[in-house]
Structure 1
Amino acid sequence: MPSGGSYWTVVDDDYDVVPVVDSYLRELRFGRDRAESTTKAYAVSIGLFLRWCTRTGRQWRTAPRDMGLFIVWLKYTRIDGAPVVAGPGVEPVRSASRINQILAGVRGFLSYAVIAKEASGVVLEQIYELADTRDLPLAAQGESGHLRYRLRARHSLRQPTTPVDRATDHEIVSLFRVCRSARDRLIVLLLSRAGLRRGELTGLRRSDLHLLPDNAKHHCLILGAHVHVVRRENSNGAVAKSRQSRTVPLDFLVLLALDLYYLERTGSPQSRSCDFLLVNLFRDPLGAPMTLGAINELFAALCVRANLDRPISPHQCRHGFASNLADSGAALDEIQGLLGHASPTSAQPYLHPSNERLRAAVDRIPTPSSLIGDHS
């Protein structure tokens, strides 16, 4: 875009942009301030839907009535369009979770098309179960008396719940020990001791770090070493998930790792003009900001090098940070603030109590004196 922002779109077989899809993806990217990676995921999903419509002779405006057939097509049609013969023992080419992600993107597009008068309102009835509050018991309708509509997706596949486990301290230390550079050690610490997401980590600028006891020279009133996590456009595609900026204090281990990394970085002349904190030091393009994919590649290599019993993802380090906060007695609102969540309840899936904390919780239960007396 002329503003410098970028987004993904969908083209037809003649390589012409599909106008209504393009309008939806632009509104998603710039109107709703979603990340570029979000428009990519939605564009891929909508592209698959339009491809199915074309190959089965359907018009996309009327195809939602056959959404069940679209699900079957997704299950047994490869990305190159070759079908897989369904039958006992044949594995679908896409998982239930992947199909549900595609359906979510398609529903978003179709809902937008109805609002934009590009599709009939009956489409909503084909993709959602529509109801209003009058269907609810009186006790559940609320006191306002206002009529509110409820939507529930008609088509979705049951998928197994796969909660993300925390990275244990032992696993984090093992990853740290097999790092071959000061930069990689800093990455492990910022993920596990500051709880940053990958997009936040790779989007950090050197100017986001305030490392003095008194940061008045930075026009910052926050005392002590800390990092500002800011949502902005980045040339490497990184983006902070939360629209709200937050501040995360940094401990002495992270500060020490930063000192060693800055010394290492001075050996790369190409990185001197780059304000991004993390840059390529060992592969081309030298001095360019690291990408999300590079963080994933690093962790895959570290897990193999450390000979761990299971692969550890960068996000599991964030879970480990939240769990360590809870184990040390941090309140839920403190964990919320450090993780950058909108609500304290959003932090609950990140809490994985240690065995020691579970034992301590049981030991804190008082024992009635009468039970002691009966036992004796």
Structure 2
Amino acid sequence: MARHVVVGDLRVQRIDRKDGRRSWTIVWPEGSLHTEADRFLREHEGSGTQKTYAYYLVDHLRWLERECLTFGTVQLRDLERYMGIVGAEIRMPLGEPWRVGKRPYGRSALSTAAACLKGFTCTKPLSASTASSARSSTSPGCRHGWTVVGRSSVTRSRRCPRTRWRAEGAARRHPKMLPDGAREKLLQTVNAARDRLVVDWLADGGLRIGELCGLHLVDLHLRENSACGECRTPHLHVCHRPGNPNRAEAKTKHPWQLERGTVTGGLIKRVSPAMVHSYFEYITTEYPRGTRHGMLLVQLHGADAGQPWAPVGARRMLGRAGKRAGLGLVKPHAFRHTFTSAVLDAADGNTLIARDAGGWASAAMVDDVYGHVDIHDPVFDAALRTVWGEGR
């Protein structure tokens, strides 16, 4: 089954597969595939990145169509001009306005758009002049040399041996972190034990909302020396399951398996005492009996009570709670940024520890860093316990 969202002439097409998975592509008005875009998006099949890139890419393709630019005639200067139109600081004539009535992209959106255009441009043939310009302005093997820097600027980089467009120079403290005291205010505002669990697990676990809503009860090993034998302290296993009934799935795809009722593998994340406490409060007071889906978070009211809770429900709950608490709109990912920043502070800026504590796989976080730390390493353990408040 396919559904579409119209964006001008070209449109983003969502495809619902029989096994519950979704994929995204771009089609022409008559419904035929945009071949080059589909080829690029297929490289990101099964990940949330595919949907994000589809919407950034369809905007770029519509702009190319308006400018009467083809893949054989587009120049690096044209791509720079497009980035300037959507919000980057580019010193050149930009031409007619684009995205009228919409805000320019912020730093994060510019970085994502640059990564999308970089990947897409690498999958299609460049004109000879464009390739020549790229070779003369970048290191060997690097076809484009754009670097997104600062809050909303794009510059040309002449030293880019590995990446083509990459984010750098961003402040370690993410501008979209939670306000001070937000966790305590939210815990005082929410009414359900389930919602308190969401706040505690996002705050202390650094989980993505898709990871949290995609957890199954068998993924939770909340007692010491669990049967999996992979972590002696309370922990959980983040497992990528594309067929979850609530369509929640982990972004990372670490191998995992379920054998004799015990999960092994996946992304292992340590669990704080507060997370354990909120879990048992929720399970003993609100979790319905007789559920067969085995998922952790469920709907508490209405006709679908007892069914798996979708990420959109968790987002809406946090949004409402944030407004009641006077915090404005609270987004789940703000917990993740706050968690990572707190771990960095506790670990004296050790990005390797922060990467593994939060389960980050972003090149912006781990570029030039190799290997993994032991999750029982004293420094790693001390950093987590400081973030959880046990060191005070």
| Same fold per superposition (TM over 0.5) | yes
Distance 1:106 1:176, change over 3 A: same
Distance 1:199 1:5, change over 3 A: same
**Offset of residue 225 of structure 1:** 2.5
Q: Which residue of 2 aligns with 1:63?
A: 74
Are the aligned partners of 1:111 and 1:124 in contact in 2 as well (CA < 8 Å)? no
**Offset of residue 73 of structure 1:** 6.0
Q: Which residue of 1 aligns with 2:45?
A: 29
Query: Equivalent of 1:95, from 87, 91, 105?
Result: 105
Q: Which residue of 1 aligns with 2:379?
A: none
Are the aligned partners of 2:213 and 2:310 in contact in 1 as well (CA < 8 Å)? yes
More strand by share: 2
Whole-Å separation in 2 of the counterparts to 1:343 and 1:156? 15
Distance 1:71 1:152, change over 3 A: closer
**Offset of residue 58 of structure 1:** 3.4
Are the aligned partners of 1:199 and 1:238 in contact in 2 as well (CA < 8 Å)? yes
Which runs of structure 2 are paired with 1:1-376 in the superposition (5 Å)?
1=17, 5-29=21-45, 35=47, 37-64=48-75, 66-68=78-80, 70-71=82-83, 74=86, 93-95=103-105, 97=107, 98=109, 101-114=112-125, 120=127, 122-125=129-132, 130-132=137-139, 148-154=140-146, 159-160=151-152, 163-164=173-174, 166-167=177-178, 170-216=181-227, 219-235=228-244, 236-244=246-254, 245-267=266-288, 272-282=291-301, 285-308=304-327, 311-322=329-340, 324-325=342-343, 332=350, 333-341=352-360, 346=365
Whole-Å separation in 1 of the counterparts to 2:114 and 2:199? 35
Task: Identify unmatched segments of 5+ residues in structure 2.
Answer: 1-16, 88-94, 153-169, 255-265, 368-385, 387-392
More helix by share: 1
**Offset of residue 327 of structure 1:** 6.3
Q: Provide TM-score, normalisation by structure 1.
A: 0.67
Whole-Å separation in 1 of the counterparts to 2:51 and 2:113? 12
Task: Identify unmatched segments of 5+ residues in structure 1.
Answer: 76-83, 133-147, 349-356, 358-376
**Offset of residue 234 of structure 1:** 4.5
**Offset of residue 40 of structure 1:** 1.2
Q: Provide TM-score, normalisation by structure 2.
A: 0.64
**Offset of residue 94 of structure 1:** 2.8
Letter in 1 for 2:205: A
Are the aligned partners of 2:75 and 2:127 in contact in 1 as well (CA < 8 Å)? no
Letter in 2 for 1:131: T
Distance 1:19 1:306, change over 3 A: same
Letter in 2 for 1:205: H
User: What are the Cα deviations for residues 162-187 of structure 1, in whole angstroms up to 9, with x where unaligned?
Assistant: 74255467321111111110110000
Aligned residues: 309
Are the aligned partners of 1:7 and 1:39 in contact in 2 as well (CA < 8 Å)? yes
**Offset of residue 12 of structure 1:** 0.4
Let me know the Cα RMSD of the aligned residues: 3.9
**Offset of residue 204 of structure 1:** 1.3
Bigger Rg, structure 1 or 2: 1
Whole-Å separation in 2 of the counterparts to 1:323 and 1:196? 14
